[in-house]
Chain A
Amino acid sequence: MYTLITGLYKQWTQKEEFYVIILGLDNAGKTTLLERIKSIYLGVAGLPPEKIAPTVGLNIGKVEINNTRLNFWDLGGQRELHSIWEKYYSECHAIVFVVDATDKERIEEVKETFETVITNDTVEGVPVLMLANKQDVPSALKVHEIKEIFNPIALRLGARDSKVLPVSALKGDGVQEAVDWLFVRLQRNRTNRPPIFRN
């Protein structure tokens, strides 16, 4: 009887959890994006952007949508840290790749990095969302320009879900749409990468 009741209780209270890793070059705005997501969904004021220093480590954000928990892992973007990213691949359900759309000089580097990430076998089939960040700056590359640059690589994404969306992590524009997109794709990909159940 005890087992039955605790079992039912667990069933009742357990939540689906998905893990999303936030990648991208240094200074792309990954931590600012995470803080923005936290402030939108949790209603708490995040770290002020001017206080955000380069991440060499991990920042976590937990957000609940429709009784489902999304865990964001924001990883450091410096070149020496890229080798650590792949340690998270087997546990992640989606990848958010943040691009600094104002930094045209580093687009080649972004391309190479992005290609290395998505061609890794461990993330096969995982939904990929590319965010063209810093759209609050007028000179930033627009979504269609980013798409043009990345189209050749996108072919290699194969059958998986992918999308390029414009955001301004600083102002918060487009962030909710981005999370909504993720939520739908995580659910759609659940047979391939099933959620984790936790109490």
Chain B
Amino acid sequence: MGFWTAFLTTLGIVRRRVSILILGLDNSGKTTIIAHFIRASSVPAAPSPTSPPPIVPTVGFSLEKFDYENLNFTVFDMSGQGRYRELWKHYYDDTDGLVWVLDAGDKERMAVVREELWSVLSHKALQQKKIPIVFFANKMDLEGSLTPQECIAALGLEEIRDRNWNIVASSAVNGEGLNRGLEWLAGQLKER
């Protein structure tokens, strides 16, 4: 960061850049969550007659940007499909925070989530960097979804003791809870 950028950032004229990684199994709602934040941060244009493009499974990853408060987020929206999870680890070094999206309605795969989560957290790059994690217990609008407390138990989140974490119930389709999670993460990122 050059001197002027640093100066302007301190004054709050230029937004500070942070980059975050969004992880979770396929079909948990990662891309829909990001789409919500992008919509919320862009200047409301005239209502377009065409509806936004449908969300399809992400292949590889997609790079998105949006502003929230005085932060400029660069988001790596990683594909959650099994064959692409190998890609995740290449992005750990440059990330300031993790967003982990859970499909709280998918009880069968909680064991898979648990395994993936712990393999991510035990990666060397993340062991050295104690970056914060926010979990979205997503799809709370579906009946029978696990509550955040149940997710904690199912995933053994209380074992995460070396970094700040928080879990928020959310619904990516109607936007509930999303801002609460992002606000927590933004607070964590501002501190440093």
Q: Could you tell me which A residues sit within 8 Å of B by CB distance? A: 44, 46-47, 51-53, 55-60, 73, 80-81, 84, 87-88, 91
| Residues of the A chain whose Cβ atoms lie less than 8 Å from the Cβ of B149 | 56, 80-81, 84
A52-B187, A58-B160, A60-B163 known; 4 other A-B pairs, CB under 8 Å?
A47-B187, A57-B135, A57-B157, A91-B161
CB atoms of B165 and A58 under 8 A apart: yes
Q: A44-B191, A47-B187, A80-B147 are in contact. Are A57 and B163 (CB under 8 A)?
A: no
Q: Which of B157, B159, B191 has the most CB of A within 10 A?
A: B191
| Residues of the A chain whose Cβ atoms lie less than 8 Å from the Cβ of B165 | 57-58
| Identity of the chain B residue whose Cβ is nearest the Cβ of A71 in the assembled complex | B161
Q: Which of B147, B152, B160 has the most CB of A within 10 A?
A: B152
| Residues of the B chain whose Cβ atoms lie less than 8 Å from the Cβ of A73 | 161
The prevalent SS among residues of B at the interface is helix
CB atoms of A58 and B164 under 8 A apart: yes
* 30 pairs, CB–CB < 8 Å, chain A vs chain B: A44-B191, A47-B187, A47-B190, A47-B191, A52-B187, A53-B184, A55-B166, A56-B152, A56-B167, A57-B157, A57-B164, A58-B158, A58-B160, A58-B161, A58-B164, A58-B166, A59-B164, A59-B166, A60-B161, A60-B162, A60-B164, A80-B147, A81-B149, A84-B153, A84-B158, A87-B158, A87-B159, A88-B158, A88-B161, A91-B161
Q: Is B80 on the interface with A (CB-CB < 8 A)?
A: no
Q: Give A138 to B19 CA distance when docked, in angstroms.
A: 44
| Identity of the chain B residue whose Cβ is nearest the Cβ of A38 in the assembled complex | B191
| Residues of the A chain whose Cβ atoms lie less than 8 Å from the Cβ of B167 | 56-57
| Residues of the B chain whose Cβ atoms lie less than 8 Å from the Cβ of A44 | 191
The smallest beta-carbon distance between B6 and chain A, in angstroms, is 18
Top 10 closest pairs, chain A to chain B, by CB = A57-B166, A80-B149, A57-B165, A87-B158, A84-B158, A47-B187, A56-B167, A59-B164, A56-B148, A57-B167
Q: A47-B191, A88-B158 are in contact. Are A53 and B180 (CB under 8 A)?
A: yes
| Residues of the A chain whose Cβ atoms lie less than 8 Å from the Cβ of B161 | 58, 60, 73, 88, 91
CB atoms of B166 and A56 under 8 A apart: yes
Q: Is B93 on the interface with A (CB-CB < 8 A)?
A: no
| Residues of the A chain whose Cβ atoms lie less than 8 Å from the Cβ of B158 | 58, 84, 87-88
CB atoms of A51 and B187 under 8 A apart: yes
| Residues of the B chain whose Cβ atoms lie less than 8 Å from the Cβ of A88 | 158, 161
The smallest beta-carbon distance between B97 and chain A, in angstroms, is 13
